[in-house]
Amino acid sequence: MKQTLSQFLKLHLDEPPARLYPEAIFLLRENSHLQRQRRLWALWGLIIASSAGMVGATLYTVQEVARSGFLHYVALLGSDTSTVIAHAKDFALLLAESAPVVGLALFFGAVFLLLEAFWFLKQLPREVALYSI
Amino acid sequence: MNSQKFVESKSFRRALWIFAVLAAVCIIFEAGVIVGYHKAGFSYEWGDNYYQIFGGNPFSLDSDIGLDGPTVPRGVTGKVLSVTPTSMIVSGQDGTEKLVMITDDTLIRYQRDDVLQNTLMPGDRVVVIGQPTANGKIDAQLIRIIERTTHSISAATTTTSVR
């Protein structure tokens, strides 16, 4: 069987061209370089989007705080401590109900995305970043 | 693998973290359900009784009561619109008007002093903490006056308590 296969290969397969391996390796490197570059652009897009999202989330949070009066309630902790302690359960629920949860969630989400994007950017080889610039 | 090795293993620590995160998620979810229930319940009662309390025509085409979402049931901060001996209407910063009931147990404070109910004036800015009632009102426990329209509080009105 082995004999037959080697005979078959000799008869039907040509020798690979001499430049096949260098070209294949070059193409593979080029492909991987392009992939890294695409990743780099995606990361920069994510950084810009999350920065804009952070600004938007901050503005939304400020608006939400102003609407709910959250800071006025928190200030009562300093000015009317004994009364607040006497009605601690109601006060805790009041803070929970008026907390700008949606704005804060959006803000923390944007910060998380921004930090993740920077972390992934740091993982990319230095020459990719320089090459693309 | 004996129990000592199992306790010290990475899998055990990972399992601990997973349980801790799951517990935290459940607690936060339950807190959200409780807060959401109270907010939605109060907002429903508030909307249901709005025209009985504040007047107006509920069948009018432009009958917008200014409620964009659930409103805070246990307090209000904003400007006093009107005052009676037992209640006041506060225009909240979220664009809603709330009826705040003033009882004998209500503490009214301005700066460092307890003040009488009759010192409350329309136009004053107040912060109220209280308990929501079944018909969309707030039974005030504390009314803190943060800004006055009239800056003269006579000495006679400054006492230790409303009671």
Among the listed ranges A4-18, A44-58, B81-95, which one has the minimum average pLDDT value? Answer: A4-18
Of A68, A79, A97, the CB nearest to B144: A79
Quick check: B131 contacting A, CB < 8 Å?
Answer: yes
Interface check B132 vs A, CB under 8 A: no
Q: Tokens for A5?
A: 């296969």
Residue B136 binned pLDDT confidence (cut-offs 50, 70, 90): confident
pLDDT band at B156 (very low <50, low <70, confident <90, very high): very low
- How is residue B117 annotated by DSSP? G
Q: What is the pLDDT of residues B81-97, one digit of tens each?
A: 999 999 999 998 888 88
| pLDDT given for residue A68 in this prediction | 86
Report, as an integer, the average pLDDT of A49-66. 93
B129/A73 Cβ within 8 A: yes
Q: Which residues does chain A have within 8 Å of residue B109's beta carbon, measured at their own beta carbons?
A: 79-80, 83
A129: pLDDT strictly greater than 60: no
- What ipTM is given for this predicted complex? 0.71
Considering the entire predicted model, what is its pTM? 0.69
Look at residue B126 in the predicted model and tell me its pLDDT. 94
| Number of A–B residue contacts, CB under 8 Å | 69
Are A76 and B73 within 8 A, CB to CB? Answer: no
Q: Do B39 and A72 touch (CB under 8 A)?
A: no
Q: Model confidence over A96-125: pLDDT tens digits?
A: 888 898 899 999 999 999 999 988 888 877
* Record: contact B129-A76, CB cut-off 8 A: yes
| The predicted structure's pLDDT at residue B64 | 59
Q: Which residues pair with B84 in a beta bridge?
A: B87
For residue B143, which residues of chain A lie inside 8 Å, CB to CB? none
B133: pLDDT confidence band, cut at 50, 70 and 90?
A: confident
Q: State how far residue A84 is from chain B, nearest Cα, in angstroms.
A: 9
Q: Answer yes or no: is pLDDT of B22 > 90.
A: yes
Computed over every residue of chain B, the mean pLDDT equals: 82
Output the pLDDT for position A45: 93
Alpha carbon of A28 to those of A17, A32, A41, A126, A131: distances in Å?
17, 6, 20, 19, 17
CA distance B117 to chain A (A): 17
Residues in chain A: 133
Cα→Cα distances B29→A72, B32, B36, B70, Å: 26, 5, 10, 18
Q: What is the pLDDT at residue A3?
A: 61
Between residues B161 and B52, the one the model is more confident about: B52
The average confidence (pLDDT) of chain A is 85
Range of lowest pLDDT (A55-69, B120-134, B140-154): B140-154
DSSP, collapsed to helix, strand or coil, labels residue B101 as: strand
Phi, psi of B131, deg, nearest 5: -110, 135
Of B154 and A41, the one with more pLDDT: A41
Residue of B nearest to A96 (CA): B35
Collapsing DSSP to helix, strand or coil, B15 comes out as: helix
Task: Kindly identify which residue of chain B lies nearest to residue A68, measuring between CA atoms.
Answer: B94
Cβ atoms of residues B67 and B150 within 8 Å: no
Q: What's the token pair of residue B131?
A: 């308990």
Structure token pair of residue A110: 């944007």
**In the predicted model, is pLDDT for residue A13 greater than 80?**
no
Question: What is the reported pLDDT for A108?
Answer: 93
- Chain A positions touching B146 (Cβ under 8 A) are 72
In angstroms, what separates the C-alpha of B127 from chain A's closest C-alpha?
Answer: 7
CA dihedral A74, A78, A79, A85 (to 10 degrees): 80
Two structure tokens written together for A117: 């994007």
Q: Nearest chain A residue to B132 by CA: give it.
A: A90
What pLDDT score does A133 carry?
46
Cα A2 to Cα A5, A8, A13, A74, B109: the distances in Å are 5, 10, 16, 85, 101
DSSP string, A11-78: HH-PPPPTTHHHHHHHHHHHHHHHHHHHHHHHHHHHHHHHHHHHHHHHHHHHHHHHHHTHHHHHHHHH
When comparing pLDDT for B118 and B66, which is higher? B118
* Residue scoring higher pLDDT (B51 or A54): A54
Contact (CB<8Å) B74/A97: yes
